[in-house]
Amino acid sequence: MKTYSTNQIKNIALLGNSGSGKTTLAEAMLFEGGVIDRRGDVDSKNTMSDYNQIEQENQTSMYSSIMYSEYNGKKINILDVPGADDFVGGTVSSLNVADTGVILVNAQNGIEVGTEIHSRWLEKFNKPAIYVINRCDHDHANFDKAFESIKDRVGGDAVLAQFPVNAGPGFDSVVDIIQMKLLKYPKEGGKPELTAIPDSEMDRAEELRNELIEKAAENDEALMELFFENDTLTEDEMRTGITAGVVARGLFPVFCMSAKQNMGVGRFMEFITNVAPSTDELAVVTTVDGTKVKCDTSGPTSVFVFKTSVESHIGEINFFKVMSGELKEGADLNNNWTRNKERFSQIFCPLGKNRTKVASLAAGDIGCTVKMKNTKTNHTLTSPDVSYTFANISFPEPKFRTAIKSVSEGDDEKLGEALTRIHQEDPTVIIEYSKELKQIILSGQGEYHLNIVKWQLDNIFNVETTFVTPKIPYRETITKAAQSDYRHKKQSGGAGQFGEVHMIIEPYTEGSEPKPMFKLGGKDHKMSNRGTDAHSLSWGGTLEFVNCIVGGSIDARFLPAILKGIMEKLEEGPLTGSYARDIRVYVYDGKMHPVDSNEISFMLAGRNAFSQAFKVAGPKIMEPVYNVEVLVPSDKMGDVMSDLQGRRAIVQGMSSEKGFEKIVAKVPLAEMNKYSTALSSLTNGRAMYSMKFDEYVQVPGEIQEELLKAYAAEQEEE
């Protein structure tokens, strides 16, 4: 295989809802380019893209797959991404290196929830988009309705480049607006016969061509002048304008095809090679330190690893994009994350589960390699003369969590290793070994997502596991001031233990100052502030420790021990054993013994004095609350609102957004268990949501009582 220059390389991501035909289109593109000699299909489980066992069993993509085709003297790198939101990690990593998004729309259904999700990610990455209305041969294909749904999403910038003459079971003819020809396909698909547009379609074709020419001219001043002079543009001029419009996201050309019948695929690939931008035509990439890196073969060599997978008998495979320079076989590059040197002993062009060995790759190309020592996803590698570091891929926040444990305790270490490997392949699978909850918390994008993880553990890694209900990371705090003193005294022959601590605690709020006086139990307590230390807690919130000791009642050397005792109690709150936070402690008096006082004595005295004061300081349990954004079709709005209200949601706002109703609400994490499954059931899979931690708030009184009873019962059992 030859080495393609940067301007001969087109990187496209195939996007769209599950069932829109992304994998089928990829297969047809490989066939049209002569990379494979026969087309596989999803039903036969023999496509180049969906090669994992779990994908073949479920007949749906779960991982991004990287392939290439050669067409018209150009190389098209194809990133086929999963359609389901549960596997959005593959979408995000692919869009990080793709130059154009090809959004497939099912001619029967129009824009669907998966299409909307992918479109939003494409907007976030500010990448160009081309729409393809696929499955025009379907019994219920409705091309015009599907196109209207695209216009509802992107407005008047969506412009037809083609339209079908006979959408439906007999589909075989397409009017091409750019070429102004009728493309008539043979029954078996493939290369069409180009003929004149029939009179019955000519008026529509001319109207659409004028519209396309106007949109193309809008994006280039020189073309606009030509358009005003000649009232039209040549085909080459149209291509120039379309490219400029696509790059600026001011023009979204729309094509039609049947990927399954291989009708329209070759013409679409011709458009990609002639019009779609290559990496060097897009915005220059900026490193984390602000250095601008041009996609130029003459520059220093740099690559960015966007995906890592693990295959049996091979080990780790790192997929990368050459960001600048030229990568040659045998090159030694510096990993700017680990500071180690890595050798690219072999370079491949990925082709699904297969790989084609190459001698070099130019800037803008996508490849893979094996047997790297310590290189992972998000790592940047460069030639020794530069130290670029490209920004990490930002993956979406988890939306579903569960606790997981191995059925056999002897498999705990094996489980940890397997989960680490799964996270390397799919960074949206988050594993947390929670000391607080005493559980392994597994988080992902949905229940289906984590069920697939469990299948991998049980079947690939041979670790039998079970899901258990995850505990909620509650927090404890206080609502009023309280005083306490505690004497620790122990005598058992020889030196004993003695320490007495008097303290007052109160709620801490950021920006507040320690008080000089308290009146508690009818008694005034004057605080002489000798020093204040604020400690940011690793689990959130603050402990402020105020030294108010006067007259040397407690030696200064024992204050760190008192603080340590308080900290220990914060890690196991008196109410439910949850972490405590946002408390100010005044240590104002106490007693020592000249012989028996030591650090352990004051640590225990401080710990117990704090615990006593906490219980009478209006203690409250706080729960994590998340900002939840739900996009739902209008006809399902009532059902979703009713369900949210049953989850103690506080609705912050509602609005309409690109064909969906948007609900923004604050919802306690305790009420979000299995929400993705419930939402899918309520809306027949047509809604989507995102969630992000917002704050801790006090739980309602009745729920606090339930939590206290549950904790007491748990303690009795132990």
Average pLDDT in the 227-236 region? 73
Longest dimension (CA), the chain: 112
167 shares a domain with 50: yes
DSSP state of 416: H
> Residue 44: what pLDDT?
81
Residue 219 lies in a domain: no
> Residue 45: what pLDDT?
83
> Residue 238: what pLDDT?
81
Over residues 614-642, the pLDDT tens digits come to: 999 999 999 999 999 998 888 899 999 99
Over residues 236-253, the pLDDT tens digits come to: 888 888 898 999 999 999
642 shares a domain with 575: no
Q: How confident is the model at residue 436 (pLDDT cuts 50, 70, 90)?
A: confident
Over residues 474-522, the pLDDT tens digits come to: 999 999 999 999 999 987 766 789 999 999 999 999 999 999 999 998 8
Average pLDDT in the 32-44 region? 89
Average pLDDT in the 227-240 region? 76
Q: Which residues contact 175 (CB under 8 A, 6 or more apart)?
A: 162, 163, 164, 165, 181, 182, 183, 197, 201, 204, 205
Residue 662 lies in a domain: yes
Quickly tell me which residue has 């609102």 as its tokens. Answer: 641
Helices 113-125 & 88-97 angle (0-180, nearest 10): 30
Residue among 646, 707, 679 at smallest CA distance from 473: 707
CATH number, domain at 438? 3.30.70.870
Can you tell me the distance from the alpha carbon of 572 to that of 585, in angstroms, rounded to the nearest whole number? Answer: 17
Question: pTM (2 decimals)?
Answer: 0.85
Over residues 23-35, the pLDDT tens digits come to: 999 999 999 999 9
Residue that terminates a domain, selected from 382, 413, 439: 382
Query: Does 224 score more than 80 pLDDT?
Result: no
Number of compact structural domains in the chain? 5
609 shares a domain with 521: yes
Residue that terminates a domain, selected from 327, 349, 382: 382
> Residue 234: what pLDDT?
75
Residue 71 lies in a domain: yes
170 shares a domain with 43: yes
CATH number, domain at 635? 3.30.70.240
150 shares a domain with 114: yes
Residue 206 lies in a domain: no
> Residue 104: what pLDDT?
97
Can you tell me the distance from the alpha carbon of 473 to that of 488, in angstroms, rounded to the nearest whole number? Answer: 32
553 shares a domain with 406: no
> Residue 227: what pLDDT?
67
Token pair listed for 1? 């295989």
> Residue 173: what pLDDT?
97
Residue among 461, 310, 302, 304 at smallest CA distance from 371: 310
Q: How confident is the model at residue 65 (pLDDT cuts 50, 70, 90)?
A: very high
543 shares a domain with 501: yes
Over residues 329-349, the pLDDT tens digits come to: 999 999 998 989 999 999 999
Residue 23 lies in a domain: yes
- What percentage of the chain carries pLDDT values higher than 70? 99
Residue 407 lies in a domain: yes
Residue-wise DSSP of 293-322? E---TTS--EEEEEEEEEETTTEEEEEEEE
255 shares a domain with 133: yes
Residue that terminates a domain, selected from 426, 444, 471: 471
Average pLDDT in the 536-551 region? 94
Partner residues linked to 523 by β-bridges: 520
Q: Is 190 exposed, middle or buried (0-12, 13-18, 19+ CB in 10 A)?
A: middle
566 shares a domain with 447: no
Task: Kindly report the number of other CB atoms within 10 A of residue 546's CB atom.
Answer: 22
| Backbone CA torsion sign across 332, 334, 340, 344 | negative
Can you tell me the distance from the alpha carbon of 401 to that of 406, in angstroms, rounded to the nearest whole number? Answer: 17
Residue among 660, 665, 674 at smallest CA distance from 631: 660
Over residues 294-330, the pLDDT tens digits come to: 999 999 999 999 999 988 778 889 999 999 999 999 9
Q: Is 36 exposed, middle or buried (0-12, 13-18, 19+ CB in 10 A)?
A: buried
Parallel, antiparallel, or unpaired: how do β-strands 465-468 and 475-477 relate? unpaired
Query: Does 153 score more than 90 pLDDT?
Result: no
Over residues 353-406, the pLDDT tens digits come to: 899 999 999 999 999 999 898 899 999 999 999 989 999 999 999 999 999 999
Q: Which residues contact 17 (CB under 8 A, 6 or more apart)?
A: 83, 104, 106, 109, 112, 113, 114, 115, 118
CA dihedral 242, 246, 248, 250 (to 10 degrees): 80
CATH number, domain at 349? 2.40.30.10
Task: Please indicate whether residue 56 or residue 251 has the higher confidence score (pLDDT).
Answer: 251
DSSP state of 258: B
Contact of 466 with 405, CB cutoff 8 Å? yes
Token pair listed for 257? 């095809």
- Where does 293-446 have alpha helices with state H? 412-425
Can you tell me the distance from the alpha carbon of 559 to that of 539, in angstroms, rounded to the nearest whole number? Answer: 23
- How far is C-alpha 24 from the chain's CA centre? 25
Residue-wise DSSP of 80-144? E--SSGGGHHHHHHHHHH-SEEEEEEETTTBS-HHHHHHHHHHHHHT--EEEEEE-TTSTT--HH
Quickly tell me which residue has 């009873």 as its tokens. Answer: 709
* Least trusted range by pLDDT, from 42-51, 115-124, 178-187, 682-691: 42-51
Q: Is 57 exposed, middle or buried (0-12, 13-18, 19+ CB in 10 A)?
A: exposed
Residue 216 lies in a domain: no
437 shares a domain with 293: no
Query: Does 421 score more than 80 pLDDT?
Result: yes
Domain that holds residue 76: 6-193+251-281
Average pLDDT in the 226-241 region? 76
151 shares a domain with 269: yes
Residue 389 lies in a domain: no
Q: Is 249 exposed, middle or buried (0-12, 13-18, 19+ CB in 10 A)?
A: middle
Residue among 351, 423, 426, 449 at smallest CA distance from 674: 449
CATH number, domain at 182? 3.40.50.300
Can you tell me the distance from the alpha carbon of 642 to that of 665, in angstroms, rounded to the nearest whole number? Answer: 13
Give first-to-last CA distance, the chain, whole Å.
67
> Residue 500: what pLDDT?
97
> Residue 30: what pLDDT?
96
508 shares a domain with 491: yes
Query: Does 232 score more than 80 pLDDT?
Result: no
> Residue 478: what pLDDT?
95
From residue 71, alpha-carbon distances to 252, 274, 353, 355 in Å are: 22, 10, 21, 18
Over residues 665-689, the pLDDT tens digits come to: 999 999 998 898 899 899 988 888 9
